């Protein structure tokens, strides 16, 4: 009998393995599913291609194919900022990974929870200048909470789980997971939940009781207190607790650029946004206070002006989950490290105990602040060139759309006007690039927010300069049925740079004219560009047409809408405290510059 004709020997059925074997690429997808991820943004390429094969079969995981990796990063940021969930983006090695760096740095500055997954060349080729090799772990180390390099398939679930843990706990931020191609192709048992090994990573969330009591005592004794609210309150989902403390203390509240919406604009205790382009009451309240209670804020230069001259008579209670921020710029009299949400609850209880049956003596303080609010409301002058006022356009977008929408801004003048003239009543309704100031943030961030919150209206309020950096994501929106609204505040220039050139460079407008909106030649014509992408496109050049265009956008849900609002290039953002001077400049300007009152 030949071997070929011998009867087959029956084999016992294989026993099911307790830990299924799968490729590293499959482990990436399975790990994301186990972590509850439903949406990711990315572009495939050679070094990440193994992951894209099982991703195609993942029924519960939607992949949005963007047109540029920076768009993937900002979309993940917008997704995270609108929901508080971890945003996820994916890119290949080399230029794919480096194109994510701007968005990663942006997320780092603004404490956005994000995980970036990148492919890397074969581990045997690392260090040889292989095709599309880049040391993305080294490149991103200064702008991530942590960066993982994974060279073995069995390490993938643990690395991804650890990345989500780091990104979403403590002070939120971006984490990079770089996975070699051979690790993606190898097979290994898939163990879930994996053991997460993060030696030394122990975020402090519970504040020390004595520090809470000390802060409550200062708050009870203060005659001129201010609650200085930063973006940490939004990241901690602590808006309700903030409202309780504010109403218990009766203290005025200021919300930074990153904290707009953390406290309702309509609340009588809200003074507006502080800082370089803040309201006069907010700026002077901080400057002239005797106690600043800083809540998830970091005393950045745009708020303090010249730090050595900031709030000279104020004691400082500084609450932050990141101990590195405490006393970094302004020495704290009472440092409190902890989760601001828990701290607000404990501080409210301690304050009520400290004040007893009495009430804080802030009547004179409020009399002064109410006078500032009456004397210096936010306003703007009509342009003299006959073109539309950008402030009016943005104000009408907010008024007609309402507080339940999400507004994602680019960077520059339109960003400041959107922060000033739209009324924010709830957290997570205002998305912008605060710390990094990244032009190009708006459109992809709005796209990510719309994916996360499909039932909300999402506006991208952009400038003509910012829009030209990432407008290719309109194609992503059209193809994937992501109907965002885009308002281009088109002053045909790099507006904020032009404003500084006007004020500080004798009006020498060097290389700030973009030729996008004024005159007969428009390069590009934004209406034609948007139509080429498949969007509904409108142009508005007269104020009487503004409302109709906005209403058309609000009524259109089957595709993105782009409105080219042609506005004056001479409009400026006021108030303004010049860089490097004391915030008392506003007080000085009030007393010595008659035109100042008209400008603000």
The residues annotated as belonging to the active site are 69, 131-132, 181, 496
Q: What share of the chain is helix, strand, coil (3-state, %, to 5)?
A: 40, 15, 40
**Cα 194–Cα 199–Cα 202 angle in degrees, nearest 5:** 100
C-alpha span between 394 and 298 (Å, rounded): 28
Residue 564: which H helix or E strand, with range? Answer: strand 561-566
Backbone phi and psi for residue 258, each to the nearest 5 degrees, phi listed first: -80, -10
Report which of 388, 357, 373 is spatially closest to residue 490, judged by C-alpha positions: 388
Collapsing DSSP to helix, strand or coil, 572 comes out as: coil
Are 470 and 440 in contact by the 8 Å Cβ rule? The answer is yes
> Rounded to whole angstroms, how far apart are CA atoms 151 and 156?
9
- Which residue is listed with tokens 């650890």? 162
Parallel, antiparallel or unpaired: strands 225-229 and 187-189: unpaired
Q: Which two tokens stand for residue 477?
A: 């929106």
Q: Residue 55 burial (CB < 10 Å; 0-12/13-18/19+)?
A: buried
Cα–Cα distance, 598 to 167 (Å, whole number): 46
- How far, in Å, CA of 297 to CA of 304, rounded? 11
Alpha carbon 17 to chain centroid distance? 44
CA distance 50 to 23: 9
Residue 203 CA: distances (Å) to CA of 127, 239, 322, 506: 34, 21, 8, 50
Beta strands, E only, 74-214: 87-91, 114-120, 146-150, 174-180, 187-189
Helix (H) or strand (E) holding 225: strand 225-229
- Residues in contact with 480: Cβ distance below 8 Å, sequence separation at least 6, in sequence order: 64, 65
| 318, β-bridge pairs | 294, 335
Backbone angles phi, psi at 182, to 5 degrees: -70, -30
The rounded distance, in Å, linking the Cα atoms of 3 and 310 is 92
Q: Is 214 helix (H, G, I), strand (E, B) or coil?
A: helix
Cis peptide before 6 (omega within 30 of 0): no
Q: Crossing angle, helix 546-555 and helix 390-401, to 10 degrees?
A: 40
Whether 53 contacts 125, CB under 8 Å: no
Beta strands in 308-382 (DSSP E): 315-320, 334-337
Distances in whole angstroms, Cα of residue 78 to Cα of each of 208, 231, 450, 520: 34, 15, 8, 36
Strands 21-23 and 187-189: antiparallel
Residues in the chain: 600
Q: Which pair of structure tokens corresponds to residue 127?
A: 């260090």
């Amino acid at each position: 009998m030949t071997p070929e004709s011998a009867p087959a020997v029956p084999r016992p059925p294989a026993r099911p393995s307790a830990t299924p074997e799968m490729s590293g690429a499959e482990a990436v997808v399975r790990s994301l599913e186990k972590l509850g991820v439903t949406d990711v943004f990315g572009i495939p390429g050679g070094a990440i291609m193994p992951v894209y094969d099982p991703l195609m079969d993942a029924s519960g995981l939607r992949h949005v194919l963007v047109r540029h990796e920076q768009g993937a990063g900002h979309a993940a940021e917008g997704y995270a900022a609108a929901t508080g969930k971890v945003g996820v983006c994916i890119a290949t090695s080399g230029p794919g990974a480096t194109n994510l760096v701007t968005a990663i740095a942006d997320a780092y500055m603004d404490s956005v929870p994000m995980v970036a997954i990148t492919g890397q060349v074969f581990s045997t080729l690392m260090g040889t200048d292989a095709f599309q090799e880049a040391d993305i772990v080294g490149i991103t180390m200064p702008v991530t909470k942590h960066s993982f390099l994974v060279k073995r398939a069995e390490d993938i679930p643990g690395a991804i789980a650890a990345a989500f843990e780091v990104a979403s706990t403590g002070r939120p931020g971006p984490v990079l997971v770089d996975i070699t191609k051979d690790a993606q192709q190898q097979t290994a048992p898939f163990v879930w939940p994996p053991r997460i090994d993060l030696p030394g990573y122990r975020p402090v969330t519970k504040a020390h009781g004595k520090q809470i009591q000390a802060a409550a005592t200062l708050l009870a004794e203060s005659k001129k207190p201010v609650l200085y609210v930063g973006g940490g309150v939004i990241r901690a989902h602590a808006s309700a607790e903030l409202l309780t403390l504010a109403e218990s203390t009766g203290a005025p509240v200021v919300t930074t650029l990153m904290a707009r919406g953390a406290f309702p604009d309509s609340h009588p205790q809200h003074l507006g946004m502080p800082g370089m382009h803040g309201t006069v009451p907010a700026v002077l309240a901080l400057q002239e206070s005797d106690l600043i209670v800083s809540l998830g804020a970091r005393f950045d230069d745009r708020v303090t002006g010249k730090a050595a001259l900031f709030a000279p008579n104020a004691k400082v209670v500084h609450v932050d989950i990141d101990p590195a921020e405490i006393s970094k710029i302004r020495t704290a009299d009472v440092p409190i490290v902890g989760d601001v949400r828990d701290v607000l609850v404990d501080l409210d209880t301690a304050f009520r105990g400290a004040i007893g049956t009495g009430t804080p003596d802030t009547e004179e303080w409020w009399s002064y602040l109410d006078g500032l609010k009456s004397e210096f409301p936010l306003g703007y002058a009509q342009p003299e060139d006959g073109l539309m006022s950008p402030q009016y356009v943005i104000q009408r977008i907010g008024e007609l759309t309402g507080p339940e929408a999400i507004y994602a801004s680019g960077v520059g003048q339109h960003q400041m006007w959107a922060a000033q003239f739209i009324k924010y009543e709830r957290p997570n309704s205002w998305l912008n690039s605060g710390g990094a100031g990244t032009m190009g943030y708006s459109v992809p961030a709005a796209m990510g927010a719309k994916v996360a919150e499909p039932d909300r209206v999402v506006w991208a309020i952009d400038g003509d300069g910012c829009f030209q950096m990432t407008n290719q994501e309109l194609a992503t929106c059209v193809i994937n049925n992501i109907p965002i609204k885009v308002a281009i505040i088109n002053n045909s220039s790099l507006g904020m740079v032009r404003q500084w050139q006007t004020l500080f460079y004798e009006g020498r407008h060097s290389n700030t004219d973009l030729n996008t909106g004024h005159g007969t030649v428009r390069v590009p014509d934004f209406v034609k560009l948007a139509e080429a992408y498949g969007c509904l496109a409108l142009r508005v050049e007269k104020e009487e047409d503004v409302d109709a265009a906005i209403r058309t956008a609000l009524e259109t849900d089957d595709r993105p809408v782009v409105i080219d609002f042609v506005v004056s290039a001479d409009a400026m953002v006021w108030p303004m405290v010049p860089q490097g001077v004391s915030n008392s400049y506003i007080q000085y300007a009030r007393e010595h510059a008659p035109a100042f009152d008209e400008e603000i």
